[in-house]
Amino acid sequence: MNQFIEWISQPWPWYVAGPMIGLTVPALLILGNKAFGISSSLRHICAACVPAGIPFFTYNWKKEIWNLLFVLGTAIGGFIAINFLGNPDTIVISEATQADLKALGLTNFSDLMPEEIFSWDTAFTGKGILFFVIGGFLVGFGTRYAGGCTSGHAIMGISSLQWPSLVATIFFMAGGFFMTHVLLAPLMKLVGF
């Protein structure tokens, strides 16, 4: 039992995490005939809270309540994992990434998130505007325009062998590479790193 607890509190390797995430696909299909996809929850929240007569948000979102319960569960899972199954050691980030990020002005690599960014102190400064307001906006706008995110396209879509989802995934990665290698450094400089 102690060994099990020790194992479960270590970071899980990709070959455990990946298949578990992949199993979400048949779990949702078999338990409820539901297609896996998370960004839809954002649309349902808009439809529930601010439909404003917009056709895109005028539909029976209550039928999709399962999707909102799923993301509620995801938040609960985050709470359980961090509080009860937490990794006792500090995160191990690749040396090369640490060197690159040091050059961008980050200094602390001991937590899951860079503390220079992820705190309420920065939320309403230039840093917060870049990392949360602009970043979050692009995630919400882009996923809806693309008709899905990593779960709906990269996992559910490619798993069901649909080429439009492969195209979407390629462009997710292209956008990420472009931001990381071209835009991130000047943008971080601009907000005071």
Partner 1 sequence: MDSIADPNCVAPNSSQTKDKGLALLKYVLIGTLFGIVFVKAEIISWFRIQEMFRLQSFHMFGVIGSAIVTGIISIQLIKRLNIKSIQGEAIIIPTKEFKKGQVIGGFIFGLGWAITGACPGPLFAQIGSGYTVVLVALVAALAGTWIYGRFEKYFPN
Residue list 130-169, contact with partner 1 (CB under 8 A): 130-165, 167-169
Q: How far is the CB of 35 from partner 1 (least distance, A)?
A: 5
Rg, C-alpha atoms of the chain: 19
The reply to whether 120 sits near partner 1 by the rule CB under 8 A is yes
Asked if 28 and 34 count as a contact pair (C-beta separation under 8 A), the reply is yes
Residue 1 or 15 with smaller CB distance to partner 1: 15
Specify the amino acid at residue 69.
Answer: L
Q: How far is the CB of 125 from partner 1 (least distance, A)?
A: 12
Q: Which residues contact 88 (CB under 8 A, 6 or more apart)?
A: 9
Asked if 151 and 67 count as a contact pair (C-beta separation under 8 A), the reply is no
Asked if 187 and 130 count as a contact pair (C-beta separation under 8 A), the reply is yes
Q: How far is the CB of 100 from partner 1 (least distance, A)?
A: 6
In the region spanning residues 91 to 110, those forming contacts with partner 1, defined by CB under 8 A, are 91, 93-94, 96-97, 100-101, 109
With b for 16 or more beta-carbon neighbours within 10 A and e for fewer, the 21-56 pattern comes to: eeeebeebeeeeeebbbbbbbbbbebbeeeeeeeee
Specify the amino acid at residue 129.
Answer: I
Residue 2 or 60 with smaller CB distance to partner 1: 60
By CB under 8 A, name the one of 15, 88, 103, 186 that touches partner 1: 15
In the region spanning residues 25 to 84, those forming contacts with partner 1, defined by CB under 8 A, are 25-43, 45-46, 50, 52, 54-57, 59-60, 63-67, 69-82
Residue 2 or 15 with smaller CB distance to partner 1: 15
By CB under 8 A, name the one of 105, 114, 185, 193 that touches partner 1: 114
Residue 6 or 93 with smaller CB distance to partner 1: 93
Size of the site for partner 1 (CB under 8 A): 137
The reply to whether 173 sits near partner 1 by the rule CB under 8 A is yes
N residues, the chain: 193
Could you tell me which of 70, 125, 127, 124 has the C-alpha nearest to residue 113?
127
Residue 2 or 154 with smaller CB distance to partner 1: 154
